[in-house]
């Protein structure tokens, strides 16, 4: 009995202590509106959990809430008044575009969907640096430009920046056209109708083939991409290795080495990483060795050449750094592009009127059916508008993390013009809430609507559009990404009409139900479409 009483007393003391800690956390940000949960939004484990009211927001929280509250929480708590605020509170309810989310750690995370505040945070890099420890999963093969900060990041960026130039962009465009023509002529041929069970089955190889050729000088044809095409001394194709590695990043970092062979999934992930980076016969090492030892020194403009040239002038840039950066560009370059293109195709299939507008615009530039050139890329404004509107609605990354390196403050202004000074204690976590910003009605009229024409207005709100992040840390590969995507989109719509595959089990669904089904997604390294079934009809 005494032990029970002692246990109860200790439990009560623990609850009281946590209550007081959470109150102090709330007071440190002047009781600014937000939520309270047991597990912090910055905790790595949330990537594997669903939303559990009062426990965790889950991995898809920013997407589920966006700017307005879309999901009602079955359980409500109030901690700023008594214990917590409503677990599903969103910006529209709070009246501010910054929320202070507190956990029982205790920990405060500011969720930010205010364009002016985001601009201040991304510009003031010394005050609000990147929490590189949260990117450990991306440093599996070595340090890199994404998972670094400060002087290390500057060094990586200096080495990589020369690759992202106009000559390389032209190479990207030209290689993309070759890959699309290879697909049209040698895979689809004379077929009048192409049925695709999931768009990812074409967008992943397209993105990888482009990246492989334009970034690393490794050309892959559609006919090469099969199990029979596995090179000597390998057990996977290059495409299979990078795709499985990207899917298995989280597995690689959380599963101990001794357990990586206990089931089929972990064995596949282990093999993929072995194929990419283990030993002299790994794909990455083979690429580096072949380029370094080439007897004929060609003038190349691809990423690998730039990394090798720049690293040869910097003795501190090791082969481990080289491998790490090659991997991050392979991962980010193929997954982000392939997933975004899936959503592009889904939206055009759903909104046939917008697809027709796009087709007519492309035809106005290419009336005689000639191939588009890189020099003509600025003319494809409608293609870019469709691409940007897709990124606004379905950003690849939903949250960009920062933290406060010092005691500071942020000035907030709400939709009514009211101002508030928000204290930001040193160590406060910050999440640039990309979904919240992209659906914020202060910046976007009818934000839920797919409306590419909004990006044809020269005064569209550029500070409220951050699919590539913002400030000095914005994505270095943005132009690479845009060039490839516009070439793919333009070529496909020029040749084929995109439709949703009709399936008997969904015959009675409404348009909104169809849209929700086709654009459904799950969390991954980037936002991942679940299944986008399409039919492509030759024009």
Separation of alpha carbons 216 and 284, rounded Å: 10
What is the distance between the alpha carbons of residues 279 and 274, in angstroms, rounded to a whole number?
A: 8
Three-class secondary structure of residue 251 per DSSP:
helix
Strands 429-433 and 107-112: parallel
Q: Are 84 and 35 in contact (CB under 8 A)?
A: yes
| Unique residue bearing structure tokens 């020194």 | 297
Spatial neighbors of 232 by CB under 8 A, at least 6 apart, are none
Q: What is the CA radius of gyration of the chain?
A: 25
Element (H, E) at 487: helix 478-495
Beta strands in 169-308 (DSSP E): 193-196
**Distance of alpha carbon 135 from its chain centroid, rounded?**
13
CA–CA distance, 194 with 47 (Å, rounded to integer): 36
Mapped onto helix, strand or coil, the DSSP state of residue 321 is helix
Tokens standing for 476? 């270095």
Residue 423 CB partners (closer than 8 Å, separation 6+): 28, 29, 30, 407, 409
Residue 475 in marked binding region = yes
Q: Judge whether 402 and 42 are in contact, CB under 8 Å.
A: no
Q: Tell the residue number behind the tokens 């003319």, with chain if given.
A: 379
Residue 527 and residue 521 in contact, taking contact as beta carbons nearer than 8 Å? yes
Reported as type and span, the H/E element at residue 280 is none
3-state secondary structure of 228: helix
Residue written as token pair 């440190």? 28
**b or e along 431-457 (b: 16 or more beta carbons within 10 Å of the residue's beta carbon)?**
bbbbbbbbbbebbbeebeebbbebbee
Closest C-alpha among 433, 426, 393 to residue 408: 426
Asked if 108 contacts 403 with a C-beta cutoff of 8 angstroms, the reply is: no
Q: What are the CB-based long-range contacts (under 8 Å, 24+) for 377-383? A: 377/173, 377/483, 377/486, 377/487, 380/486, 380/490, 381/456, 382/357, 382/358, 382/452, 382/456, 383/358, 383/486, 383/489, 383/490, 383/493
The H-assigned helical ranges of 264-318 are: 264-277, 283-292, 303-312
Residue positions forming the annotated binding site: 475
Residue positions forming the annotated binding site for heme: 475
């Amino acid at each position: 009995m005494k032990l029970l009483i002692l246990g109860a007393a200790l439990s009560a003391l623990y609850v009281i202590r946590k209550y007081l800690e959470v109150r102090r956390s709330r007071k440190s940000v002047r009781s600014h509106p937000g939520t309270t949960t047991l597990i912090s939004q910055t905790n790595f484990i949330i990537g594997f959990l669903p939303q559990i009211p009062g426990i965790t927001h889950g991995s898809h929280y920013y997407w589920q809430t966006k700017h307005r509250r879309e999901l009602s929480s079955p359980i409500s708590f109030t901690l700023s008044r008594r214990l917590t605020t409503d677990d599903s509170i969103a910006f529209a309810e709070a009246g501010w575009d910054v929320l202070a989310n507190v956990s029982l750690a205790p920990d405060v995370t500011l969720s930010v969907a205010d364009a002016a505040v985001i601009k201040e945070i991304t510009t003031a890099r010394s005050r609000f640096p990147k929490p590189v420890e949260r990117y450990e999963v991306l440093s599996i093969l070595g340090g890199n430009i994404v998972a670094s900060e400060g002087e290390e990041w500057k060094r990586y960026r200096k080495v990589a920046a020369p690759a992202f130039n106009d000559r390389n962009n032209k190479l990207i465009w030209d290689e993309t056209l070759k890959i699309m023509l290879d697909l049209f002529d040698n895979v689809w041929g004379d077929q009048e109708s192409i049925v695709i069970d999931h768009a990812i089955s074409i967008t992943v190889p397209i993105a990888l083939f482009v990246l492989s050729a334009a970034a690393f000088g490794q050309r892959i044809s559609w006919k090469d991409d099969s199990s029979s095409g596995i090179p000597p001394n390998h057990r996977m194709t290059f495409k299979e290795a990078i795709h499985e590695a990207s899917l298995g990043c989280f597995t690689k970092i959380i599963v101990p080495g001794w357990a990586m062979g206990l089931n089929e999934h972990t064995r596949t992930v282990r093999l993929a990483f072995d194929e990419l980076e283990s030993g002299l016969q790994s794909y990455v090492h083979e690429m580096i060795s072949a380029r370094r030892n080439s007897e004929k020194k060609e003038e190349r403009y691809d990423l690998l050449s730039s990394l090798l040239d720049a690293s040869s002038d910097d003795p501190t840039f090791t082969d481990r750094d080289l491998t790490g950066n090659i991997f991050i560009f392979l991962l980010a370059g193929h997954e982000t592009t392939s997933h975004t293109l899936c959503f592009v195709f889904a939206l055009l299939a759903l909104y046939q009127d917008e697809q027709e507008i796009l087709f007519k615009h492309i035809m106005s530039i290419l009336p005689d059916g000639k191939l588009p050139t890189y020099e003509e890329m600025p003319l494809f404004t409608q293609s870019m508008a469709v691409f940007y509107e897709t990124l606004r609605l379905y950003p690849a990354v939903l949250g960009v993390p920062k933290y406060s390196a010092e005691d500071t403050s942020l000035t907030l202004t709400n939709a009514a013009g009211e101002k508030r000074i928000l204290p930001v204690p040193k160590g406060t976590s910050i999440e640039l809430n990309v979904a919240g910003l992209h659906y914020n009605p202060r910046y976007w009229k009818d934000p839920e609507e797919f409306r590419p024409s909004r990006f044809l207005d020269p005064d569209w709100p550029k500070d409220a559009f951050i699919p590539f992040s913002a400030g000095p840390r914005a994505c270095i590969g943005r132009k690479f990404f845009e060039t490839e995507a516009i070439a793919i989109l333009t070529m496909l719509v020029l040749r084929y009409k995109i439709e949703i595959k009709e399936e008997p089990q969904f015959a009675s669904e409404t348009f909104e139900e169809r849209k929700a089904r086709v654009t459904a997604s799950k969390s991954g390294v980037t936002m991942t479409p679940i299944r986008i079934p399409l039919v492509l009809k030759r024009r």
